[in-house]
Structure 1
Amino acid sequence: MSLFVWSSIVVVVILCALAAYSTMVAANQIQKSNSELDTSVDPAIRRHPFLLNPIIMMYIVVGIFMTIVLFFYWARGE
């Protein structure tokens, strides 16, 4: 297999692991609170609502990984 396939597999595995971990953390927080309803919003979240959103953070992480992979292949000349 080519280097592109292996590097893509590594990126996908890392992203799946991060997504699974963040899902488990969210599920544990819901179990600890014994409620599916939201509680009051923390002041830090009010100030930075996008930075503490896990979906948006995953898009940022994916963008960074893809930029690194694309830059790597561009630098190699492929």
Structure 2
Amino acid sequence: MNAIWWGACIIVAVLCGIAAYSTVAVAKHIGRRDATHDTISQAVARHPFLLNPIIMMYFVVGIFMAIIIFYYHAASS
């Protein structure tokens, strides 16, 4: 059981780091803009969840956790 916790902790730490980096990168990009109106790229307009990196991380964490749960369920059978 100890290996499960260490693996989960490493995955959570990596994903939190990616989420923090993405959030800071978006904030810096917004801070450098001098426009008075918000502009949204066409990619974000087509896929609105790309506007918020935290929502993307929830999606990625969900996929990783599903893989981990399936793996350990299959391994214990």
Asked if Structure 1 and Structure 2 have the same fold, meaning a TM-score greater than 0.5 normalized by the shorter chain, the answer is yes
Counterpart of 1:43 in structure 2 is: 42
Aligned length: 77
Scaled by the length of structure 2, the TM-score of the pair is 0.77
Structure with the bigger percentage of helix? 2
In structure 1, stretches of 5+ residues that fail to align are none
In structure 2, stretches of 5+ residues that fail to align are none
> Quick check: 2:15–2:61 contact (8 Å CA) kept in 1?
yes
Instruction: State the distance in 2 between where 1:56 and 1:48 align.
Output: 12
- The alpha-carbon deviation at position 70 of structure 1 amounts to 0.6
Instruction: State the distance in 2 between where 1:27 and 1:58 align.
Output: 16
Runs of 4+ residues over 3 Å off in structure 1: none
Scaled by the length of structure 1, the TM-score of the pair is 0.76
- The alpha-carbon deviation at position 47 of structure 1 amounts to 2.0
Q: What's the CA shift string for 1:27-74, capped at 9, x where partnerless?
A: 210221146x65222232222223443232111101111011111211
Instruction: State the distance in 1 between where 2:54 and 2:64 align.
Output: 15
Counterpart of 1:28 in structure 2 is: 28
- The alpha-carbon deviation at position 17 of structure 1 amounts to 0.8
Instruction: Give the secondary-structure state (helix, strand or coil) at the position aligned to 2:49.
Output: coil
* Percent identity of equivalent pairs: 47
